[in-house]
Amino acid sequence: MADYLGEYGIEETRRNRVVKRIVLSAIAIVVVAVAAYLFLRNYKEKHAVKNFLTEVNSGQLPAAYTTWGCTATHPCRDYSYQKFLEDWGHKKNWRITDVDGCPAGAVVTVQADGAEPSPLWVSRGDEALSFSPWPECQGKQWRFKQFFKRITGH
């Protein structure tokens, strides 16, 4: 009789432990997936701007103009190479200060020492660069970054 009651509840305890591990693992996977999405969703667009700024900062302005999507032989209709030089050729040490992801692309804000922040638009599909008409994405969306900046004071 002692053996019969000695194992009472062991299977239920083991089952509860397995269920608890499965639930905690699922929650951890969801948290890691959401964090990865938030940190990596604008990676390609940010990388495209980083490559462009590397060319500008190193003085390779013809290559930077090509990265912008124009060439000296086939300049952009509304953005000549001379205008490009006026915008990007005089200031050095450009850096990315903010990235805001939109459904069709990203607004990447760049700034040089002693210059105003300049928002750039990067399309998601072809990673084409242009000046953004807005400092951040338009439309309804979650503003996690602004929320955390307000909370932390940064």
Same domain, 33 and 96: no
Same domain, 73 and 146: yes
Compare 17 and 11 and report the one with higher pLDDT: 17
Same domain, 20 and 32: yes
Same domain, 84 and 122: yes
125-151 tens-digit pLDDT: 888 999 998 888 887 666 666 677 778
Residues, the chain? 154
Cα–Cα distance between 19 and 120 in angstroms, integer? 48
31-42 tens-digit pLDDT: 999 989 888 889
In a 10 Å sphere around its CB, with 0-12 CB exposed, 13-18 middle and 19+ buried, how is residue 119 labelled? middle
pLDDT value at position 152?
A: 82
Q: Are 46 and 99 in contact (CB under 8 A)?
A: yes
Q: Are 100 and 107 in contact (CB under 8 A)?
A: yes
| Kind and range of the H or E run holding 131 | strand 129-131
Compare 154 and 17 and report the one with higher pLDDT: 17
pLDDT interval class at 67 (50, 70, 90): very high
pTM of the model: 0.74
pLDDT value at position 9?
A: 77
pLDDT interval class at 28 (50, 70, 90): very high
Cβ-based neighbours of 125, under 8 Å, separated by 6 or more? none
Same domain, 26 and 53: no
Cβ-based neighbours of 128, under 8 Å, separated by 6 or more? 69, 122
Same domain, 8 and 68: no
Q: Could you tell me the residue range of the domain that residue 31 belongs to? A: 2-38
Same domain, 62 and 26: no
Same domain, 12 and 47: no
Query: For the chain, what is the domain count?
Result: 2
DSSP helix/strand/coil, 65: helix
68-110 tens-digit pLDDT: 988 878 888 889 989 999 999 888 899 999 898 888 899 999 9
| Kind and range of the H or E run holding 120 | strand 118-123
Q: Are 102 and 122 in contact (CB under 8 A)?
A: no
Same domain, 108 and 123: yes
pLDDT value at position 96?
A: 95
| Kind and range of the H or E run holding 106 | strand 105-111
pLDDT value at position 61?
A: 93
pLDDT value at position 141?
A: 66
Same domain, 62 and 77: yes
pLDDT value at position 72?
A: 74
Same domain, 61 and 128: yes
Same domain, 27 and 59: no
